[in-house]
Amino acid sequence: DVKVTQSSRYLVKRTGEKVFLECVQDMDHENMFWYRQDPGLGLRLIYFSYDVKMKEKGDIPEGYSVSREKKERFSLILESASTNQTSMYLCASGTSLPQETQYFGPGTRLLVL
Amino acid sequence: ELKVEQNPLFLSMQEGKNYTIYCNYSTTSDRLYWYRQDPGKSLESLFVLLSNGAVKQEGRLMASLDTKARLSTLHITAAVHDLSATYFCAVAEVGNYKLTFGKGTLLTVNP
């Protein structure tokens, strides 16, 4: 079974803090993704990575950065957390095209005070 | 810009009944996905549809794809309470890893 794990299920941070969200996958997938999920807005892609040290912006990259130093690990960084970044963050990893399927982690619910 | 519209957004149905969730998308795609999400949980992959006319079935759920109409349907047959969840469709543009998700359909199956 594919396993995607995220470092925390719940996180509370203060405005202005630097926040690291970690994601690890155990299936040797090339592709990894970070989404945020908000009520009424669905899932929106923040960043994705198709190889080590490679990244591409998604739909809402502002206020976020990512790091992928090893194939199995993809980190999302909130440089200076703000209250509008309170959300559920979902990491996914995926197989290659053409039958690419994304497998999701359990999610991190982040509250920024 | 790819847009994905699901309807209905909320669906309350009785056990034993049939219903269909619709997913429309705005540009050419080569992959369409259906996911299920239980409350407080992550997304579980249900189906991947890759070509026009594709049909996949798992238990009481059947998904189909019409690429000419840019429409996918998720049909529920003889609903049971265990199917209560939020269902998302997600669409990828041709050759692109990026998925665009619909807003989800919250399905509640009542006894």
With an 8 Å Cβ cutoff, is A94 touching chain B?
Answer: yes
pLDDT reported for residue A97 = 66
Asked if A61 has any chain B CB less than 8 Å from its own CB, the reply is: no
Q: What is the pLDDT of residues B55-104, one digit of tens each?
A: 999 999 999 999 999 999 999 999 999 999 999 999 988 877 788 999 99
Contacts of A50 in chain B (CB under 8 A): 97
Is A93 in the B-facing interface, judged by CB distances under 8 Å? no
Q: Answer yes or no: do B103 and A98 touch at CB < 8 A.
A: no
Kindly identify which residue of chain A lies nearest to residue B33, measuring between CA atoms: A101
Query: Is the Cβ–Cβ distance between B38 and B104 less than 8 Å?
Result: no
What was the pLDDT predicted at A2?
Answer: 67
Buried/exposed A16-50: b ≥16 CB within 10 Å, e otherwise: eeebebebbbeeebbbbbbbbbeeeebbebbbbbe
- CA dist A35 and A95 (Å) reads 17
Residue among B38, B34, B12 nearest B22 (CA): B34
**CA A86, CA A69: separation in Å to the nearest integer?**
26
User: What six digits make up the tokens of A55?
Assistant: 């990244």
Instruction: Give the pair of three-digit tokens for residue A6.
Output: 């995220």
The lowest-confidence range among A78-82, A102-106, B104-108 is: A102-106
Per-residue confidence (pLDDT) for residue A106, from 0 to 100: 93
Q: Which residues in chain A have Cβ-Cβ distances shorter than 8 Å to B92? A: 100
To the nearest whole angstrom, how far is the Cα of B104 from the nearest Cα of chain A? Answer: 7
- Residue-wise pLDDT for A12-46, tens only, equals 999 999 999 999 999 899 899 999 999 888 899 99
pLDDT in the model for residue B28: 86
Chain A residues in contact with B31 by the CB 8 A cut-off are: 98-100
Mean pLDDT for chain A overall: 92
Cα(A64)–Cα(A86) distance, integer angstroms: 13
> Rounded mean pLDDT of A49-65?
93
* Whether residue B8 has a cis bond before it, omega within 30° of 0: yes
Q: B38 to chain A: nearest residue by CA?
A: A106
- B111 falls in which pLDDT band (50, 70, 90)? confident
How far apart are alpha carbons A34 and A43 in whole angstroms? 10
Residue ranges of E strands in chain A? 4-6, 10-13, 19-25, 31-38, 42-51, 54-57, 64-70, 73-78, 87-94, 102-104, 108-112
Q: What is the pLDDT of residues B18-55, one digit of tens each?
A: 999 999 999 888 789 999 999 888 899 999 998 888 89
Q: Do A90 and B102 touch (CB under 8 A)?
A: no
Any idea which of A19-28, A64-73, A100-109, B102-111 has the lowest mean pLDDT? A100-109
Q: Residue A100: is its pLDDT beyond 80?
A: no
Of the candidates A58, A63, A62, A91, which has an alpha carbon nearest to the alpha carbon of residue B2? A58
Q: pLDDT band for position A98 (50/70/90)? A: low
> How many C-beta neighbours within 10 Å does residue B77 have?
16
